[in-house]
Amino acid sequence: MTVVIRTTGLTKVFVSDWRRVRTTAVDHLDLEVAEGEIYGFLGPNGAGKTTALKMLLGLLRPSSGSAEVLGEDASGLAHRSRLGYLPENPYFYDYLTGREFLDFCGRLCGLKSPGRQERVVRLLALVGLERAADVRLRKYSKGMLQRVGMAQALVNDPQLLILDEPQSGLDPLGRKQVRDLILQQRDEGRTVLFSSHILADAEMICDRVGIMNHGRLVATGRLEELLRSRVQSVEFQAEGLSAAGKATLRTGATIYLEEGNRVQFTLPGDEGQVPHVIAAITAGGGRVVAVAPLHETLEDVFLREVRTK
């Protein structure tokens, strides 16, 4: 396994100018991101995710510890041409069109004409902005701006993409578009590290995740390792139950819904209880419509780790 990001004891302490109050934003972060994977950097607001990313990018100097990116010291310049970055709140020159903005970014990256213009056209097509290529950025929606931001992060054909909250503030369609773009980058061999607090999206696309809380990495691993395989609860649907049967099954249910002749309820526990519940449904004059075991989700892991650390 080739490691493209490695941090050891990475720490950042901010000291206020007035009262000299010390605030530890990142606390001894040990992190590894492998080549060709999508790594989700998760955590609540204020957990230290953005500060950690800025140290990886060389935009902030660590108070202690070390960080290597693409085999180089993160504070150096040698690897910068192989990086692509989308900040959480990017600033755009809104008097430029999408085409002009990407051409400007290409010039900053040292791309030469005419190859630069050809790359701009390809990137606009990649992010679905061909028709808005000559529209000024001030007229772009939030989703369009996020997509042109993704395009600028790709303008230098980077090996590693670092994206800070790329889906923040987007509607479901915009989030799906960004999600698909991230998956496409992995399919093309790039490594993607992105921070997020949108857990459902992270669960869909990440190979591995790390959960930050109060500056510390409290959990990390592959999704299948973090998500417990045991069943947390079982959901049942039944119909035709007598009033007595409904009363029996309602007892102990964490969720109980009744609509017409059908009831839906969730009981805590594992799959071992299923035969007993089916027997109770039959005894109550009912018929089983569906049985679904409910496994732990990334949201369950996130809430457990954040609340207990």
Report the pLDDT value the prediction gives residue 187, as an integer from 0 to 100.
Answer: 93
Q: Is the same domain home to 176 and 283?
A: no
**Residue 268 domain-assigned?**
yes
d(CA 61, CA 75) in angstroms, rounded, equals 7
CATH number of the domain residue 66 falls in: 3.40.50.300
86 exposed, middle or buried (CB, 10 Å; 0-12, 13-18, 19+)?
Answer: buried
| Cβ partners under 8 Å of residue 304, min gap 6 | none
Q: Cα–Cα distance between 184 and 290 in angstroms, integer?
A: 36
- Quick one: 56 and 205 in the same domain? yes
Domain assignment of residue 307, yes or no: no
Query: Which of 226, 247, 279 is where one domain is finished?
Result: 226
Q: Does residue 157 register a pLDDT over 90?
A: yes
> Could you tell me the CATH number of the domain that includes residue 264?
3.30.70.120
Q: Is 2 helix (H, G, I), strand (E, B) or coil?
A: coil
Q: By mean pLDDT, which of 77-86, 118-127, 217-226 is the weakest?
A: 217-226
112 and 201 assigned to the same domain: yes
**pLDDT, position 272:** 79
Comparing 247 with 104, the larger pLDDT belongs to 104
143 shares its domain with 286: no
CA distance 25 to 44: 13
Based on the domain organization, do 222 and 74 belong to the same domain?
yes
Query: Of 226, 245, 277, which marks where a domain is finished?
Result: 226
Question: Given a cut of 90, is residue 91 above it in pLDDT?
Answer: no
Residue 229 has pLDDT above 60, yes or no: no
- Rounded CA gap, 266 and 244, in Å? 18
Note whether residue 140 is domain-resident. yes
pLDDT given for residue 191 in this prediction:
96
What are the structure tokens assigned to 289, written together? 């419509």
17 & 120 share domain: yes
* Whether 41 and 100 share a structural domain: yes
Residue 26 inside a domain? The answer is: yes
pLDDT tens-place string over residues 240-266: 999 888 888 888 888 788 888 899 989
How far are the Cα atoms of 21, 22, 23, 234 from residue 17, in angstroms, in the given order?
8, 10, 12, 55
Question: Residue 203: which pLDDT band, with cuts at 50, 70 and 90?
Answer: confident
Radius of gyration of the chain (CA): 25
Taking alpha carbons only, the member of 207, 175, 172 closest to residue 192 is 207
What does the pLDDT read at residue 156? 93
DSSP assigned state of 140: -
Average pLDDT over residues 124-134: 93
Q: Does residue 303 form part of some domain?
A: no
Let me know whether 99 and 246 are in one domain: no
The least confident of 71-80, 91-100, 146-155, 224-233 is 224-233
Task: Taking the CA atoms of 147, 148, 149 and 152 in sequence, report the sign of the dihedral they define.
Answer: positive
pTM of whole model > 0.85? no
Q: Where in the sequence is the domain holding 261, given as residue range(s)?
A: 231-295
Q: Is residue 263 part of a domain?
A: yes
Number of domains in the chain: 2
33 found inside a domain:
yes
How many other C-beta atoms can be found within 10 angstroms of the C-beta atom of residue 65? 17
Give the tokens for residue 118: 């050809």
Domain identity same for 13 and 152: yes
Last residue of a domain, one of 226, 247, 275: 226
What pLDDT is attached to residue 175?
Answer: 85
